[in-house]
Amino acid sequence: MSTVLITSRVVGTTVTRPLEMLRAANITIAKNPHLNAGQNLTEDQLIPLIKGIDGIIVGEDDVTRKVIEAADCLRVIAKNGVGVNQIDVRAATERGILVTNTPGANSNAVADLTFGLMLAVARRIPFSHNATRQGRWDKFIGAELWRKTLGIVGVGHIGKGVARRARGFEMKILGYDIVPDEEFACQVGLTYVALETIFREADFVTLHVPLLPSTEGLVTRAHLGMMKRTAYLVNVARGGVVSSADVYDALVKKELAGAALDVFEQEPPVGNPLLTLDNIVTTSHIGAFTTESMENMGQTAAQSVIDVLAGRWPAFPVNPEVFGKS
Ligand SMILES: NC(=O)c1ccc[n+]([C@@H]2O[C@H](COP(=O)([O-])OP(=O)(O)OC[C@H]3O[C@@H](n4cnc5c(N)ncnc54)[C@H](O)[C@@H]3O)[C@@H](O)[C@H]2O)c1
């Protein structure tokens, strides 16, 4: 009988169907003593839990090389989500451990939030909300999305979802991606351009690339300096794609009108000077946190574990080269 450890904070709590799926497949669920701590698990917390575990379903927990090397029978690391930057995929591959994720399962949730953040920062919704609650009736002048230019950096599952929504606002849609999808571009009226063109021409720039060695710092201070002073930056991808310090500097110098950030290099961003600015809107990495997305992700992650432990090919392998070795 196989044993699975679940460290994702929503699988088994907010959504329970994945537990039923695992139990129906005769898989034992190991006790996670940190379940109610409300924090991602650190390397030190994971190492003592990983022995005797065949599969693990993780959220944003630190599945480092040390954790992977401490495992004695681990065969699958299933990310309950898309970004696998918190997992040492190379170390897993070396050990013949398959890593899986859930592409597309949360793209509607994140694309919705992207529009929520664009509207929130451009129309200053949180500021008006706070003022009204404090008994004031202030007026906040904002900017419209209607027929503006949107620049999407990373036109994958989420970037495409954002592009589809942008059609409703009759936006001019620019995209940047290393793997352009011309058929999709035709369908939604998206034009692929250089990264610099996005920053020079867009009224709203939104980031949707994964955090990889090739995308860390993809958006430089120089790119931010190219933006229109009336433009807004949205980051719901990962903190490292653009540096907080660069965004802070550009915002303080009013080189752009504002930024909306769901993600930071350090989370939670305690002490980050960005939080002191009045031209930003922040959320707490909630991009994927909708009921629908949680269900989709949890079931996809559980099915991946079930498949790998039964010797079947999972739907979304991140390092398919190891399958057959484990
Ligand atoms: N805020 C949140 O809660 C949240 C939730 C889900 C995903 N995310 C982030 O969003 C990212 C994207 O998710 P997705 O489902 O759209 O992934 P995806 O793999 O479908 O799309 C990523 C796109 O980025 C492109 N890309 C990769 N490297 C690039 C580069 N160097 N330059 C330009 N384009 C490049 C790829 O070709 C692909 O089209 C995830 O990796 C994750 O980090 C955040």
Taking CA atoms, 236 is separated from 89, 117, 239, 260, 292, in Å, by: 22, 9, 8, 8, 18
> For the chain, what is the HEC assignment?
CCEEEECCCCECCCECHHHHHHHHCCCEECCCCCCCCCCCCCHHHHHHHCCCCCEEEECCCCECHHHHHHCCCCCEEEECCCCCCCECHHHHHHCCCEEECCCCCCHHHHHHHHHHHHHHHHCCHHHHHHHHHCCCCCCCCCCCCCCCEEEEECCCHHHHHHHHHHHHCCCEEEEECCCCCHHHHHHHCEEECCHHHHHHHCCEEEECCCCCCCCCCCECHHHHHHCCCCCEEEECCCHHHECHHHHHHHHHCCCCCEEEECCCCCCCCCCCHHHHCCCEEECCCCCCCCHHHHHHHHHHHHHHHHHHHCCCCCCCECCHHHCCCC
Q: What is the mean pLDDT of residues 207-221?
A: 97
Q: What is the pLDDT of residue 210?
A: 95
Q: What is the pLDDT of residue 10?
A: 87
Q: Which domains does the chain carry?
A: 3-103+290-322 (3.40.50.720), 107-282 (3.40.50.720)
Ligand 1 nearest-atom number relative to CA 218: 31
Q: What is the percentage of the chain residues whose pLDDT exceeds 90?
A: 93
Give 53 Cα–ligand 1 centroid separation in angstroms: 29
Spatial distance between the Cα atoms of 46 and 191, rounded to a whole number of angstroms: 45
Note the pLDDT tens digit of each residue in 39-73.
Answer: 889 999 999 999 999 999 999 999 999 999 999 99
Tokens (6 digits) for 17 = 């169907």
Note the pLDDT tens digit of each residue in 226-253.
Answer: 999 999 999 999 999 999 999 999 999 9
Ligand 1 nearest-atom number relative to CA 238: 43
Peptide bond into 268 cis (omega under 30): yes
pLDDT band at 95 (very low <50, low <70, confident <90, very high): very high
Spatial distance between the Cα atoms of 277 and 117, rounded to a whole number of angstroms: 16
Q: What is the pLDDT of residue 119?
A: 98
Q: What is the pLDDT of residue 179?
A: 98
pLDDT band at 324 (very low <50, low <70, confident <90, very high): low
Q: What is the pLDDT of residue 38?
A: 77
In contact, 232 and 256? CB cutoff 8 Å? yes
Is the minimum distance from the CB of 198 to ligand 1 under 6 angstroms? no
Q: What is the pLDDT of residue 325?
A: 57
pLDDT of residue 326 exceeding 80, the answer is: no
Q: What is the mean pLDDT of residues 197-209?
A: 98
Q: What is the pLDDT of residue 1?
A: 87
Note the pLDDT tens digit of each residue in 124-179.
Answer: 999 999 999 999 999 999 999 999 999 999 999 999 999 999 999 999 999 999 99
Residue type, 206: T
Is the minimum distance from the CB of 211 to ligand 1 under 6 angstroms? yes
pLDDT of residue 302 exceeding 60, the answer is: yes
- Catalytic-labelled residue, pool 255, 265, 267, 295: 267
Q: Which among 112, 158, 164 is the best mutation to test ligand 1's pocket, defined by most ligand atoms within 8 Å of the CB?
A: 158
Task: Kindly report the average pLDDT of the chain as a whole number.
Answer: 96
Give catalytic status of residue 267 as yes or no: yes
Is the minimum distance from the CB of 155 to ligand 1 under 6 angstroms? yes
Q: What is the pLDDT of residue 278?
A: 94
Spatial distance between the Cα atoms of 70 and 272, rounded to a whole number of angstroms: 34
Q: Which of 12-16, 302-306, 321-325 has the highest mean pLDDT?
A: 302-306
Segment among 34-43, 159-168, 215-224, 305-314 with least mean pLDDT: 34-43
- The CB density around residue 30, as the number of other CB atoms within 10 Å, is 18
- Catalytic-labelled residue, pool 238, 265, 295, 312: 238
